[in-house]
Amino acid sequence: MKRVGFLTSGGDCQSLNATMRGVAKALYEKIEDIEIIGILEGYKGLMYGNYRKLKPSDFSGILTEGGTIIGTSRQPFKLMREPDANGMDKVRAMKNNYEKWKLDCLVILGGNGTHKTANLLREEGLNVITLPKTIDNDLYGTDMTFGFQSAVNIASTAIDQIHTTAASHGRVFIVEIMGHDVGWLTLHAGIASGADIVLIPEIPFNIDSVIGAINKRNEQGKNFTILAVAEGAKSTEDAKLSKKDFKKKLKERKYPSISYELGAEIEERTGQEVRIAVPGHTQRGGSPCPYDRVISSRLGAAAGEFIMNEQYGIMVGIKNNEIIPVPLSEVAGKLKMVDPDSQIIKEAKSLGICFGD
C-alpha cells in the first residue's frame, strides 16, 4: 500500500481543495492500493499528530469549494527550529509522525513560508512534493500560482464597484489590495479595473508624482481618481530606511495602513474628499474562478504522476504553460518580484497609469 499525506499551510485561498482533488483523482485513477491521510491545520497537525484518513468521497464536490477541507495554520519558518512552549522539538516531532504514519510522501500546498519548511523537511530526509499556492503570485520558479487569478477577479470587482460612487461624488478613492511585499495582485487588478494610479512595493512612490497625477485628471475635467494601492507600497523616503527603522516607523504610525496615511496627505494637499476601501480577506474567499480550477487540476494531476514515479524534493510549477518539476532547493526563500522595467509595467504606463515614480 502507498500512503500519501496531504497538508495545506499558511493563508487560505480559493483553489486548495481543487488542487488536492486533482492529486487525489490522479492517485485513485492510477494506484489500486492507495491511502490518503489529511493532516489537519497545516504543520501544526504534523507536529502534534492530528490527522484523519480521507476517502474518495471526501474529494467529491470540492472543485468549486473555497478554503481547505483539512484546515490550515500559519507556522513561521523562523520558529521551526525553536522548541514549543512545552519544549518539544518541532522538526523531530514532524519527522516522527511522518514515520509513525508510514507515509511514502508528503504533499504540501502553500506559499513562501510553507516552502521554506517543506525544503527543511526534504533536507531532513522526508519525501516531499509541493504545490504553489498563494494569491500573491510571488513564488519563485513558477509563472503562476493557484489562487492568484481568483483574487485578481475579486480585487478587480471591488475597484469596478468604486468607479460609480467615485464619479458621482467627485472623490479620490484608494482601494488597498493584498500582496505583502510584492505587487502582482495590485498590478493586475489595477490594470483590469482601469485604476488611474497603481502603487506597488517594487516601485517606491513620490507623493508629488501622485498629487500631480490627480491634479492632471482634474485639469482634464475628470473629477475623480481611483488608486489601487498594495498593502506593502512604500514612499521613496520609506524605501530608503533600514528594515529596523522602517519597522519602528510602522509601530509609531498613527494610521492603520499606508492607504490611510496616503489618503490624509492627498486630502490635505488637493482639498478633495478621499475615501479608503479595503477588500481584505474577501480576496482569499469564495469559489475559485474557472482559470484556477483548470491550473489546479493540471498541477494536481502532474503531482500524482510525480508521486507514482517517486520523483520527490520538487515543487510542481508552471513555465510557459507547461507543468514542470522545480527543485525545492531552488524555490525556498526566494520571492518573485515585479520587475519595474518589465514589459507589463511599460505597457501600463503607455495606458496612462501612474506608478508614482
Q: Which of 33, 58, 89, 136 is catalytic?
A: 136
Q: Tell me which residue has cell 470587482.
A: 157
| Cβ proximity of 200 and 183 under 8 Å | yes
| CA atoms of 65 and 62, how far apart (whole Å) | 5
Of the candidates 104, 91, 18, 11, which has an alpha carbon nearest to the alpha carbon of residue 292?
Answer: 18
Phi, psi (5° rounding) for residue 81? -90, 0
Helix (H) or strand (E) holding 276: strand 274-277
| CA atoms of 183 and 198, how far apart (whole Å) | 9
| Cβ proximity of 149 and 291 under 8 Å | yes
| CA atoms of 257 and 217, how far apart (whole Å) | 25
| 339 labelled catalytic | no
| Cβ proximity of 11 and 28 under 8 Å | no
State the Cα angle at 144 between 140 and 149, rounded to 5°: 135
Of the candidates 126, 121, 122, 131, which has an alpha carbon nearest to the alpha carbon of residue 103?
Answer: 126
Distances (CA, A) of 202 to 175, 226, 340: 18, 20, 7
Q: Tell me which residue has cell 496531504.
A: 6
Q: Tell me which residue has cell 494610521.
A: 255
Strand intervals (E) in 137-213: 172-177, 197-199
Instruction: Write the burial class of residue 271 (CB in 10 Å: 0-12 exposed, 13-18 middle, 19+ buried).
Output: exposed
| CA atoms of 336 and 343, how far apart (whole Å) | 16
Catalytic residues, by residue number, are 136
